[in-house]
Amino acid sequence: MVGGSSPSGPTIVFEKEGMKKLDIQEVKEFISNQSLETKIYIGCDSERYKSNNIWYADYILAIVIHIDGKHGCKLFGEVIKEKDFDQKVNRPRLRLMNEVYKLSELYLKLADVLVDRHVEVHLDINPDSRFGSNCVMQEAIGYIRGTCNVVPMVKPKAFAASYAADRLKYLNVA
């Protein structure tokens, strides 16, 4: 599958070995079958690594569905592997904005079943300027507000990105 583009050509998107692709229809049906009190949290995290002298990023998308807002949760997600073209490891602007773009796209795919529900978009971004993720905070918040019409949560309130997506990659259940 070919994704966006970069200075050196198209970004190749790979499915992560052992992980199934997120079935949007399955997620929509599950949400539709829940009460309006059910809360939905959408988050994304990424991890950069080098393989065969090429930099890659795993983007982990997580949808946490808190049943009736007080019972257990159902977790949906997927891991997407892409080449990473960030030049500054300590200020990963491109990779962080890719997280934001993927979240926005996921939100829009689910939008018709999110109406009249409590929905939060969680960004794995630290508001503290001492941390590298802060380099895109205003841009990321503005993008989500503009495309999804919601005010996103950032750390420490962004558990769907900071915890759920972060752990999902290693659960091998997505």
CATH number at residue 32: 3.10.420
Q: What mean pLDDT do residues 134-144 have?
A: 96
* Residue 133, domain extent: 2-171
pLDDT class for 169, splitting at 50, 70, 90?
A: confident
User: So what's the pLDDT on residue 19?
Assistant: 61
Total residue length of the chain: 174
CB contact at 8 A, 153 and 64 = no
2 burial via Cβ count (<10 Å: 0-12, 13-18, 19+): exposed
Q: Supply the mean pLDDT for the chain.
A: 88
Q: What is the pLDDT of residues 65-103, one digit of tens each?
A: 999 999 999 999 999 999 999 887 778 999 999 999 999
Q: What is the distance in angstroms between the CA of the first residue and the CA of the last residue of the chain?
A: 19
Q: Is the dihedral of CA 33, 36, 38, 43 positive or negative?
A: positive
pTM for the model stands at 0.86
Compute how many other C-beta atoms are within 10 angstroms of the C-beta atom of residue 163: 16
Instruction: Give the number of domains in the chain.
Output: 1
Q: What is the pLDDT of residues 24-42, one digit of tens each?
A: 999 999 999 999 999 999 9
Pinpoint the alpha helices (H) of the chain: 24-32, 93-114, 137-148, 159, 166-171
Sort strands 54-66 and 118-123 into parallel, antiparallel or unpaired. unpaired
